[in-house]
Structure 1
Amino acid sequence: MTTTPKPTTSHSAAGLFASSLGSILLLAVILVAINYISGIAYLRADMTAEKLFTLSDGTRSILGKLSDKTRLKFYYSKSLANVPFGYKLYGKRIEEFLGEYVASSRGMVELESLDPQPDSDVEEWAVKYGLAQAGLPTGEKFYLGLVAIVADKEEVIPFFTIEREEFLEYDITRAIVQASSRSKATVGVLSPLPVVGGAMPFPGMPQQGEDWLFLKELRKNFEIRKVETTATEIAGDISLLMVIHPKDLPESTLYAIDQFVLKGGRAIVMVDPACMADNLVDQSNPYMAMLSRSSDLGKLLKTWGVDYNRGKIAADMSMATRVNAGPQGLFDHPLWLSLSADAFNRESAVSAKLNAMLMVNAGALSKTADSQHEFIPLLTTRESGSQVDTHQLLMPPAEMVRNLPTSGRRQNLAALVRGTFASAFSEPPAQPAPEGESEDARKQREAEHAALRQKHVAKAEKPGSVMVIADADLLHNDYCVRAINFFGSTLLQPLNDNLAFISNCVDLLAGSEDLIAVRSRGKFARTFTRVENIEREAQKRWQEEEKTLTSRLEEIQQRINQLQSQKKDGERLILSAEQREEIDRARNEQSETMRRRREIRKLLRQDIESLGTRVTFFNLLLMPLLVAAAGVYVYMRQNSRRGMP
């Protein structure tokens, strides 16, 4: 009988060693392969609720169209110790966000992060580029700006303020677009108001100051050209015409606007039934002055399919803005409309991301019954909206509110009209013959009119777009911005989305539609909502206790004053036993209330600390335990398989 020899112990050990060595080598190869693959396939996942670190489709589209290399030079004083903590975090987030541009640009965007230390070459270049220096209480200066460079063209963001955090992507993308563009589109501005700086709206009026702020913003992206209110022709190189408060325009100017639209030009028309910014009227007769503040575009609006009554103002008590009415005090003004989320058309790129606007004495728009054009409302009142006559502005505030209709419907405050428009004129308007006109002058005038008839366009060849907004005041600085002090410098901070709205309108009709998609985004800093709810609930209870205490102390003080007034003059400084008892009672009640408040705050801390303990347990203990349990399960499962025959 032959027996099979068993393997020796040395052979078993050698086999085990070889197996272990092979496993180690295989693991090393896997690790190297993973590192190599991760290096060439850089994958990221944005887990934030609002996708704050994900570039919008508009930005990706712009980056995909870049034909020249773009250099982004990010100046951030990260080594400066006294930079406010909020700006330290914000600077780091901006740097990380700029990395997304590089990763999504197919190699067309390069990022250079620079730390402009004092008296360095980097700081010297920052000053040459025009970056803003923010002063600190210590006297130091810090930088947080960007320069976009394409070939020999530069676009500068002087300083990233936290107040514009929601516009971070828009500001960066706009800088890239401006640096990459070879020319700017031209926007014409036609208005009797001093919108364009240095304008003289009427003979004898004083020279005006700077551009309105919205125009300063538009100049960053577009060439601005003033068009006179007596113009008889709109230049063909104007991409977009803004007609702001067109009050009493001559027929020849209306015809010029009509023909501009029919020849493919696009227009933003801002009419107003009672323009507060119109200070050029005679104030001696309030009624006539009120009527003189209205504007209209005559038959042009009807031809475009828009109904508008210059004698009516949109009203909505549910959107009323609290204003100071002088002797009448504060009251909720139903004609000063504070637009909130439900007032914006969320399906339009112009208004989809807006949240708040202010419109003062705005008119109402609607589509004419026989219009075949597309009428897209952008801004509306609520269902409680109505219309009131302009003369009601002369009423006392309380009477105006009493006269409002009790029911209503949505009123359109702004709309986009699209269609193949026809002319509002059968032929060019004839020029009136001046008194004492000579024969030669008459022949020249008739020849010019005949030439206009030859160039007259009766109907557009292709569809066009016109934006109609029933308020001009929304552009005025008083209703859209406020001045703030920022480290010794005056900055204008938006009060609402008025500027964003008009910028969206201009971008849509004259500029890049891709920029509209990146107009606004959420904030990077997110609060702990659960903690805020706990604090809010405790604060509510504390305020109720404080209100009760304050009311009781006032009653006691009134009682003390009453007792004091009953004493004789010589005894005013001596407290009676009744007074001392009242004061002691008040002090005891105050101590008891303070004790109750301490208890509430103690409960607040306990709730927050309990929540923090649970989060810490989940992060530091529970998750590692779950990972360990999964590892043990996999290990035992594999061992059980190896033991199977």
Structure 2
Amino acid sequence: MNSSIILKLVSAFVALFLIILLSSNLLSGVRLDLSEGGLYSLSDGTESILENLESDVTIDYYFSEQATSQLPALRTYAKRVEELLTEYESKSNGKLSINKIDLAPFSEQEDEAALAGLQSVPGGARGDEIYFGLVAKNAAGREEVVPFIQPDKEAFLEYDLTRLISALSRETLPKIGIYSGADIRGGFDVMSRQQTPEWAALQFINDNFDLEWIEDDADAIEGVDMLLLIAPQDLSQRLQLAIDQYALSGGKVMVFVDPYIETMAMMNGMATVQSSNISALFESWGVAFDESQFITDFENSMVVSLGQGGQPTRHLGLLSLGPNALSQDDVVMFGLESINLSSVGAMSAAEGASTVFTPVIQSSAQSALADVNVLTTLNDPSTLMNDFVPTEQRYTIAARVGGPAESAFPDGITVSEELADGEGSVDLKLEPSVLSSENVNIMIVADSDVLSDRLWVQVQNFFGQQIISPWADNGSLLLNSVENLSGQSELISIRGQGRYSRPFERVEALQRDAEERFLAQQEALEAQLIATEEQMFELEQMRDGGDVVSLTEEQNKALLRFQEEKLKIRKQLRDVQHQLDQDIDALGTKLKLINIFLVPVLICFFALMLGFRQRRIANA
């Protein structure tokens, strides 16, 4: 090897070393975000909030550098958090201060971190405790603690940090009035005889809002930024008048109604229809809602398993809605990818309504309405397919209602009031103070089970702390709506980022098409099998104590023929089941061939072309 080549190699090595050294110092925190949707860039909502902070916020960021020396993945993520906090600080106009604290094992700072509420995790280099959290404080002394920053929640990192900073910077939190006919605050399960926990959806909004619970005997609703009604049932006329007046006075209202409240369906060990409706108010708002029917939707239906090891079955009343079902023009739907619902109602604009009815969530065209009473005895969801005939109509599941409206109680209401001495009661006439409005602001969702934990969240215990891990966007739907209606819409664009879910939409479409093609064939074979088994049963009954001689030779031949036919039909059914997966398997094979052969061939081709081009330039 001649000296010129050695000199070139040494020069290249020195140049590379200098580039790495300079970039690590001069370009610290600089990132090129090539991910879909700008996964690692600050959103406009975050920048807007940081530029308009009302008061100073200080964040103490704790991380155990020494204890994590053998955990490179965690250290990389910690560096990502540190860089993000530095970027926050640079864009806050001096309102945000970040202090990084390196926690050495057995140090006084470790004790201070534990006293501040941080959660330690064993697993350090020498069995030391690892701290990875932060404590945020505002000028008034109010404090927020993140006990341990979960690496598997990186998708929500920006939203969580911005929400925390925004909440501490505001002088007062937005106030949300809540009325619920369901036990969203937890209660007692009669069947299991155990206490039920608070719904995760309530915890989601509890962090960022001041919640005020509305009682059924409320005369007026005042001092709240918006009103949230969840599964309202048998509301008193007094409360209905209060809601009516709040909406007509410019108050913003969000309502979750339901033709079948599954969380309250079991009463005394038996399933009963528990529905929610506020028909008088809906009529004045120009909304038609039939609580006796629910939506069945083949295209958006989910596949469930019946018991342990049970056959997967499509449930037409259990829906998973993707972006195609959501109005992309509505800010509340921003960034939502999957919303799961169950036993959903259908709404429409009432005939002659003065209000403007705008759908924001709709079913697919492969939908129909079914009687809600079938849900009380539904043991096998596949039976919903029996009489299912799509109407080719998209039913509205959620909608905004705006425009002019009149009071539902123009003549007032009469209520019974207990006398102060407890002796009897007296009737009082309550008159509305507002009879009409030029523009009401109401959002309605025809399902309350959408907020129940089972449809969108997994709750895990992490060293004694409850960790909520969403697997659908139901909680984001509620948060987006509350933030929008209460005037905190900047956070919507932040939570819309960081979505890592990439469903196999092509595979799901192939599976639905295959099911449609083979469903009729499968039903015919099953009916034929049932008829054959009935004929076999009739012949078996003719036997006297199992004595085959009691059957004639012709009957014995018929029995054998039916047994062979039964085996043949069962084989055909198995073939149909296998055919359901053939298209999906073919697609998988095609993708494997592309990844294994085509992609490397293309890379080699471009490499050869590049080498050929460079050789031509060198020879020119």
TM-score, length-normalised on structure 1?
Answer: 0.68
Output aligned runs, 1:37-186, within 5 Å. 46-81=33-68, 84-136=71-123, 139-151=127-139, 152-186=141-175
Corresponding position of 1:431: 415
Distance in structure 1 (CA, Å) of the matches to 2:149 and 2:403: 41
Distance in structure 2 (CA, Å) of the matches to 1:489 and 1:622: 61
Distance in structure 1 (CA, Å) of the matches to 2:170 and 2:262: 38
* AA matched with 1:347: D
1:472-525 deviations in whole A, cap 9, x for unaligned?
111112222123465686533112111111111111122511111111313699
Deviation of 1:366 after TM superposition, in Å, equals: 1.5
In 2, are the aligned partners of 1:344 and 1:352 still within 8 Å (CA)?
no
Corresponding position of 2:350: 368
Corresponding position of 1:316: 297
Indicate which of 386, 390, 393 corresponds to 1:402: 386
In 2, are the aligned partners of 1:346 and 1:353 still within 8 Å (CA)?
no
Distance in structure 1 (CA, Å) of the matches to 2:326 and 2:348: 16
Distance in structure 1 (CA, Å) of the matches to 2:344 and 2:219: 29
What is the SS of the residue equivalent to 1:430? strand
Distance in structure 2 (CA, Å) of the matches to 1:603 and 1:248: 60
1:299 counterpart = 2:284: no
In 2, are the aligned partners of 1:53 and 1:97 still within 8 Å (CA)?
no
Corresponding position of 1:246: 232
Deviation of 1:329 after TM superposition, in Å, equals: 4.4
* AA matched with 1:103: S
In 1, are the aligned partners of 2:456 and 2:473 still within 8 Å (CA)?
yes
Indicate which of 223, 244, 252 corresponds to 1:258: 244
Distance in structure 2 (CA, Å) of the matches to 1:48 and 1:499: 24
Q: 1:67 to 1:606 in 2, by over 3 A?
A: same
In 1, are the aligned partners of 2:189 and 2:196 still within 8 Å (CA)?
no
Corresponding position of 1:419: 403
Structure 2 residue runs of 5 or longer lacking an equivalent are 1-21, 503-591
Corresponding position of 1:459: 436
Give % identity. Answer: 28
What is the SS of the residue equivalent to 2:81? helix
Deviation of 1:112 after TM superposition, in Å, equals: 2.2
What is the SS of the residue equivalent to 1:463? strand
In 2, are the aligned partners of 1:72 and 1:146 still within 8 Å (CA)?
yes
Distance in structure 1 (CA, Å) of the matches to 2:599 and 2:329: 41
Indicate which of 301, 312, 321 corresponds to 1:330: 312
Corresponding position of 2:452: 476
Structure 1 residue runs of 5 or longer lacking an equivalent are 1-34, 527-600, 634-645
Corresponding position of 1:551: none
Distance in structure 2 (CA, Å) of the matches to 1:346 and 1:86: 37
* AA matched with 2:288: D
Distance in structure 1 (CA, Å) of the matches to 2:33 and 2:418: 71
Distance in structure 2 (CA, Å) of the matches to 1:622 and 1:113: 52
Distance in structure 1 (CA, Å) of the matches to 2:156 and 2:255: 26
Q: 1:388 to 1:226 in 2, by over 3 A?
A: same
Indicate which of 333, 343, 362 corresponds to 1:351: 333
Distance in structure 1 (CA, Å) of the matches to 2:302 and 2:599: 37
* AA matched with 1:383: A
RMSD (Å), alpha carbons: 4.1
Corresponding position of 1:195: 184
Tell me which moved more, 306-315 or 318-327: 318-327
Distance in structure 1 (CA, Å) of the matches to 2:79 and 2:131: 13
Deviation of 1:78 after TM superposition, in Å, equals: 3.4
Deviation of 1:201 after TM superposition, in Å, equals: 12
In 2, are the aligned partners of 1:59 and 1:518 still within 8 Å (CA)?
yes
What is the SS of the residue equivalent to 1:164? helix
Corresponding position of 1:499: 475
In 2, are the aligned partners of 1:166 and 1:520 still within 8 Å (CA)?
no
* AA matched with 1:61: S
* AA matched with 2:222: G
Distance in structure 1 (CA, Å) of the matches to 2:501 and 2:264: 42
Q: 1:311 to 1:236 in 2, by over 3 A?
A: same
In 2, are the aligned partners of 1:54 and 1:100 still within 8 Å (CA)?
no
1:110-145 deviations in whole A, cap 9, x for unaligned?
222222222223323322332222332864322332
Distance in structure 2 (CA, Å) of the matches to 1:94 and 1:617: 42
Deviation of 1:361 after TM superposition, in Å, equals: 0.3
What is the SS of the residue equivalent to 1:417? strand
In 1, are the aligned partners of 2:53 and 2:170 still within 8 Å (CA)?
no
TM-score, length-normalised on structure 2?
Answer: 0.71
Deviation of 1:433 after TM superposition, in Å, equals: 8.1
Distance in structure 2 (CA, Å) of the matches to 1:380 and 1:603: 37
1:5-55 deviations in whole A, cap 9, x for unaligned?
xxxxxxxxxxxxxxxxxxxxxxxxxxxxxx9xx99xx99865555323432
1:514 counterpart = 2:493: no
* AA matched with 1:223: D
Distance in structure 2 (CA, Å) of the matches to 1:610 and 1:514: 47
Deviation of 1:200 after TM superposition, in Å, equals: 8.3
Deviation of 1:84 after TM superposition, in Å, equals: 4.2
Deviation of 1:360 after TM superposition, in Å, equals: 0.6
* AA matched with 2:73: G
What is the SS of the residue equivalent to 1:410? coil
* AA matched with 2:173: K
Deviation of 1:325 after TM superposition, in Å, equals: 3.8
In 2, are the aligned partners of 1:135 and 1:487 still within 8 Å (CA)?
no
Corresponding position of 1:587: none
What is the SS of the residue equivalent to 1:370? coil
Q: 1:68 to 1:189 in 2, by over 3 A?
A: closer
In 2, are the aligned partners of 1:263 and 1:457 still within 8 Å (CA)?
yes
Q: 1:391 to 1:441 in 2, by over 3 A?
A: closer
Deviation of 1:296 after TM superposition, in Å, equals: 0.7
Deviation of 1:90 after TM superposition, in Å, equals: 1.7
What is the SS of the residue equivalent to 1:160? coil
In 1, are the aligned partners of 2:163 and 2:491 still within 8 Å (CA)?
yes
Larger Rg: 1
Distance in structure 1 (CA, Å) of the matches to 2:195 and 2:459: 20
Deviation of 1:607 after TM superposition, in Å, equals: 8.2
Deviation of 1:358 after TM superposition, in Å, equals: 1.0
Deviation of 1:220 after TM superposition, in Å, equals: 0.9
In 1, are the aligned partners of 2:401 and 2:443 still within 8 Å (CA)?
yes
Deviation of 1:172 after TM superposition, in Å, equals: 0.9
1:512-543 deviations in whole A, cap 9, x for unaligned?
111111113136999xxxxxxxxxxxxxxxxx
Deviation of 1:295 after TM superposition, in Å, equals: 1.3
Q: 1:607 to 1:160 in 2, by over 3 A?
A: farther
Corresponding position of 1:31: none
